[in-house]
Amino acid sequence: MRAAIPVAQQKIALLKSGNVCAFPNCDRTLLLAETRADGAAVIAELAHIVAASRQGPRGDVELDEESRNLAKNLIVLCPEHHAVIDAQPRTYSVPVLRQMKADHERRIAAAGARGRRSETTALTLVSETLYSTLLPITHIPSVMFAGPSPHGDSEYESIKEQIRSTRNRWLLPFLLKDGLLLTFYDLRVRNSPFKPFVRGDVQQFAARDLWQDPEGARRYKTLLNRSMHKYAGRQGVRFDPGHHRYFFEPTEPGKVREIHYRLKSGATSKRKVVWQPITRATGVPKTFWIHLAASLNFVQLAEQQWALAIRPERHLTSDSQQPLAPHRIGRRVTRLKAKMYNDKYLGELQFWLSFLSRDKPRLLLEFGSQSVVIDARLVWFNIRWPGISHDVPAKPIESVEDDLFTLSDLQAAAEGEPIYDDDEEEDALTLATKEE
C-alpha cells in the first residue's frame, strides 16, 4: 500500500506554491472563492515529481521511499496541468519539473514572504517570442552500413581523396574502425564508390541501437558532423578542426568576399564574409582580416530527437589566409561578440540559415537512399515575463515557403529515394566542384 503524504509536507508544498499553479504561464488560483450556493473549494493537486510508486510517471528514477513524499518532491498544480505532466512524462521529466518547481517558488518568494496572490500579479508581464539557436531535424539515417575493410584509420585521408575524385553527388562521410568501413551510404549498391575498399558481406546497424551505446553514438555523431564538413565545404566554407568551427575563405587571397542572402524580412541583401577592417579615425587598414564563422554541431535532445545547433563566431587571419596568432585573437573576438546580442544576434543566425539552406525551407544532406532533413526554422517559444526596461524585442524571422520543387525533394528524402537514378550517366549529374 502506498504511504500517505505527511500533513506537514503537504502544508510546506502548498504554502511555498503561493496558492498558484506552478505550471509556466498558468498562474491559476488554487483556492476558489465561495459562492452563494457553495463554500470555498480547494482545487490544488499535489503531484509527485518522482512518482510515489516505481510504476508511476517518472517512478524509475532513483529516490528512496521516504523522500518521495517529502515537499521537495511535490509540485503544486491545477488539475489540468497535473494530468498533462503525468500523460507526458518524457516531456515533463524529473529535471524539467524540478526546475519548474524551483522557478515558481523563487518567484513567489520574491513577490513577498506571505506569497500573496495580489503581489504575484502586480508584475507587468510582456509577451515575446524567444528564439533558440537550434534547427530541428525531421529525418535522420535509420541505418549505419558497415563493410569489412583491410584499411586502417591511418589511410583515411588517402581514401577520402579517392572517394572525392569520383565526383559523386552524394555526401559520403565514412569511418574506418575495428576493421570496418562505416557509412550512411548503402554499401550494397552495385556501383558504390566504396566498393574498392570493402571486402565481404555488408552489415547494418540500427541507429536506435547505436544511440544506446556510448561508442556507437559517438561514431554515429562523427558521421553526421563529417557530412556537415562536406556539405559546407561544397559551398566554400572551411572547417577549422582546432576551434571546431566553420569559416568563409576568400575566393581570391587578399580579396574581400561578399555573399547575397535573405534578410529576416524576406528581402535580399549583400554582406561581407571576408574583409579587412579599417581604422575609423585614420582610414588605415588594420593588421588582421575578419572571416564570418559559426559552430555547427549535431546534438541529441532526447531519445529520438536531434537538432543542429548554430553558434555565430569569428575567425581571424593576418592576411586572409594565415590564422592570427592566438595571443592576438582573444580581446578582438571578445569585443566583436560583445556587440552581438538580441536583434543583431538573430541577424547573424538568419544569415547562416539563408546561406546553409540556399534560401530553401530546409537543408538536405543526402547519402543516396538515406538523408538528414533539417528544418531551416529556429526552434522558438512564446514567453510571458517581466521584460527589461527599454528593451527592443527582436523582430521575427520570416520562414521560406515550400514550392513544388522543394516539396518534391522533401518527399524523395522522406521516402528514402534518390533524387536521381544511380545508373544515370555521370554527365547528367550536378556535381560539386569543391568540398571540405
Q: What is the pLDDT along the chain (436 residues), one digit of tens a residue?
A: 467 889 999 999 999 998 999 999 898 999 888 888 888 889 999 999 999 888 889 988 888 888 899 999 999 999 999 999 999 999 999 999 999 999 999 988 887 654 444 444 456 778 888 888 999 999 999 999 999 999 988 999 999 999 988 877 889 999 999 999 999 999 999 889 999 999 999 999 999 999 999 999 999 999 999 999 999 998 889 999 888 899 999 999 999 999 887 776 667 888 899 999 998 888 899 999 999 999 999 999 888 889 999 999 999 999 999 988 877 777 666 766 666 666 788 888 889 988 998 888 889 999 999 999 999 888 888 888 777 666 666 665 666 666 666 666 666 666 665 433 333 333 323 333 334 3
Which cell is 327 given? 595571443
Cβ–Cβ < 8 Å for 310, 297: no
pLDDT of residue 333: 67
Task: Quote the percentage of the chain above a pLDDT of 70.
Answer: 82
Strand bridging mode 245-248 / 180-183? unpaired
Cβ–Cβ < 8 Å for 354, 346: no
CA dist list (Å): 169 to 85, 175, 234, 430: 46, 19, 11, 7
Cβ–Cβ < 8 Å for 295, 310: yes
Question: Over the chain, what is the mean pLDDT?
Answer: 84
CB atoms within 10 A of CB 161: 9
Strand bridging mode 371-375 / 362-366? antiparallel
Q: What is the CA radius of gyration of the chain?
A: 27
* 412: helix, strand or coil: helix
pTM of the predicted protein model: 0.63
- Burial of 154: CB neighbours in 10 Å, binned 0-12, 13-18, 19+: exposed
Single-letter residue type at 225: N
H/E stretch holding 164: helix 156-165
pLDDT of residue 157: 92
* Residue pLDDT, tens place only, 10-61: 999 999 998 999 999 898 999 888 888 888 889 999 999 999 888 889 988 8
* 134: helix, strand or coil: strand
Q: Which of 366, 369, 435, 357 is nearest to 400 (CA)?
A: 357
pLDDT of residue 403: 62
Q: Which of 357, 377, 400 is nearest to 265 (CA)?
A: 400
CA dist list (Å): 52 to 4, 63, 78, 310: 9, 10, 19, 40
145: which residues sit within 8 A by CB, 6+ positions away?
A: 182, 183, 184, 185, 186, 187, 188, 202, 203, 204, 205
Which cell is 20 given? 498558484
pLDDT of residue 416: 62
